[in-house]
Amino acid sequence: MKFLLSHVFLLLLASALLLPCQASSATGREQEVRDAVTSFVTTRTAEMGWDVRIRRITVSDALKFPEGKVDYEIIAPQQWEGWGNINIAVIARQKERVLRNIAVRVDVEALTDMVVALHQIEHGELITAADVVMKKLEISQNTRLAARTIDEVIGKKSRITIRANQPVRADRVERVPLIKPGQMVTIVAENEVLKISVSGKARSAGAEGDTIRVQNLTSLKEIAAVVVSATTVQVAF
């Protein structure tokens, strides 16, 4: 009986000595996973010119791996843009043997310079330098299409009403048409040695550089032409 109690005591003592080591190992492995995920996010967003901060990394479960070096492969959704909440897979390998497929949740904050309205810009209003300013804001579903430079919006008109302090999205502004449908225009065709001009009528609207349909009033044929100015279009010659 005394021998049995001694044996049980030794087993309990051994367990007490081993368990802290296992917990410490598991904690160390979780930090390794966190470090691997942090490195992946940093590398993935390095060329984007953003200020990036990882707000949270959530590891799905406790990690207990064998002693020795473990390599981690990060697999993120192909369409991930580098910000927001995502689920990624971390493949833990030891000597080419897969130990675990670890589910990890990552919350990434990314900030970048955006064009922001200084005051409310009405629908159809021409945007000037006095209407907008550059601010550093967090990228989100609502801001990811925001214009990144002032030049992208200056001289264009708003397609919607833009509220004060809201990012100005590049798809919510448009160039001001120089030519309107039905307008009389001069159709020019020229090369190094010859220039021909005829009268025409615009069939569609267009800003500078746009290709529109125009009717040659001499031949009555419709052709494609590039808007050069408020009165002139050019055709290939």
The token pair at 203 is 């069939």
The SS3 of residue 32 is: helix
Return the amino acid letter for 71.
Answer: D
pLDDT higher than threshold 60 for residue 13: no
Separation of alpha carbons 94 and 20, rounded Å: 23
CATH topology of domain 112-175: Type Iii Antifreeze Protein Isoform Hplc 12 (3.90.1210)
The structural domains of the chain, with segments of one domain joined by +, span 17-110, 112-175, 184-234
Residue 25 is predicted with a pLDDT of 56
**The domain over range 184-234 is classified in CATH as 2.60.40.10:** no
Mean pLDDT on 39-51: 92
Distances (CA, A) of 130 to 19, 71, 194: 67, 54, 44
Residue 132 is predicted with a pLDDT of 96
Separation of alpha carbons 237 and 223, rounded Å: 12
pLDDT higher than threshold 90 for residue 39: yes
Mean pLDDT on 91-106: 92
Hey, do 17-110 and 184-234 end up sharing a CATH topology, with the first three levels equal? Answer: no
Which of 24-38, 50-64, 66-80, 189-203 is least confident? 24-38
Residue 27 is predicted with a pLDDT of 58
Per this entry, what is the length of the chain?
A: 237
Mean pLDDT of the chain: 87
pLDDT higher than threshold 80 for residue 26: no
pLDDT higher than threshold 70 for residue 133: yes
CATH number for region 17-110: 3.10.129
Residue 32 backbone phi and psi in degrees, to 5:
-60, -40
